[in-house]
Amino acid sequence: MIEASMRSLPALTVIAALTIPLPAVAHPHIFAEARLEVETTSDNRISELRHVWRFDEVFSSSVMLDFDTNGDFVLDGEELARISEVVTGSLAEFDYYTTLTVNGTDSAIELPEAIKVAFQDGQLLMFFAVTPDRPVPMSGTIAVGVFDPTMYAALDFVTDEDMVVTGASATSCVRSVVRPDPDEVIAQNQASLTEAFFNEPGGNNLSKLFATRLELNCT
């Protein structure tokens, strides 16, 4: 019954609901340093979008305390697998916090395998790759954004080099990292953002307006 109800919660809220005191659940906020690699093929196509997320020590400690079922302060293979199971199932509803836009049109993505989880130097790591559900030629304008639509988790790309293009066709397009100014976004979309907040306080796609994104301009 508990797990069934949790499937409707945002992915990282599921873990937080298990790890932080109930009074804090109303306004949780966690942070992760992120890296994105857009893998390309020799025939100028995008094959994978690879993610690495390293979570802050406070949140990581909470995960450790809850999932360390044998109390040895080490997350063993079985305990890490449990975290992976919870997050993999929950993130699917939110497209793994990934948007892929090709010439202004959203392209669907899928996860080919379970999200991998590790615990290193006191921090929780998640790493995984998503793939376009159909071939994506490197033509026109392609944008990849990474964000939590509920704004529950802040995924931070610390430097522009944390969003890169890799593989055989890495240099085929002009790469740029776009970091929207929150004040400008609010000023330009105030009516829409206000309406969305009251109609969908649990999250909506307008949060992507604030997300750092990688843009590829291809000929």
Q: pLDDT by residue (tens digit) across 157-192?
A: 999 999 999 999 999 999 999 998 767 766 766 665
Which range among 52-61, 83-92, 117-126, 199-208 shows the weakest confidence by mean pLDDT? 199-208
- Extract the tokens encoding 24: 């804090």
Tell me: pLDDT of 196 over 60. no
Dihedral angle computed from the Cα positions of residues 33, 39, 44 and 46, in that order, rounded to the nearest 10 degrees: -80
- Extract the tokens encoding 137: 């030629």
CB < 8 Å & 24+ apart, contacts of 42-45: 42/168, 42/169, 43/169, 44/137, 44/138, 44/139, 44/169, 44/172, 44/218, 45/135, 45/136, 45/137, 45/138, 45/169
Tell me: pLDDT of 138 over 50. yes
Q: In this predicted structure, what is the pLDDT of residue 121?
A: 93
**H helices of the chain, where?**
2-6, 11-19, 22-25, 57-67, 77-91, 182-188, 190-199
pLDDT digits (tens, 9 = 90+) for 7-40: 444 556 556 654 444 344 434 378 999 999 999 9
- Say how many CA atoms lie within 13 Å of 206 toward its Cβ: 20
pLDDT digits (tens, 9 = 90+) for 198-219: 455 444 456 667 789 999 999 8
Q: In this predicted structure, what is the pLDDT of residue 13?
A: 59
Enumerate the β-bridge partners of residue 174.
217
Helix (H, G, I), strand (E, B) or coil at 32: strand
Q: In this predicted structure, what is the pLDDT of residue 19?
A: 47
Percentage of the chain lying above the pLDDT 90 cut: 61
Q: In this predicted structure, what is the pLDDT of residue 201?
A: 46
Question: 6 falls in which pLDDT band (50, 70, 90)?
Answer: very low
Q: In this predicted structure, what is the pLDDT of residue 191?
A: 64
Average pLDDT, the chain: 83
Mean pLDDT of 142-155: 88
Distance, in Å, from the CA atom of 206 to the CA atom of 189, rounded to the nearest integer, reads: 9
State the DSSP code for 21: -
Tell me: pLDDT of 89 over 60. yes
**Which residues make Cβ contacts (< 8 Å) with residue 156, sequence separation at least 6?**
31, 32, 33, 34, 212
Who has greater pLDDT, 196 or 133?
A: 133
State the DSSP code for 175: E
- Extract the tokens encoding 60: 């990581």
Do residues 30 and 152 lie in contact, with contact meaning Cβ atoms separated by under 8 Å?
Answer: yes
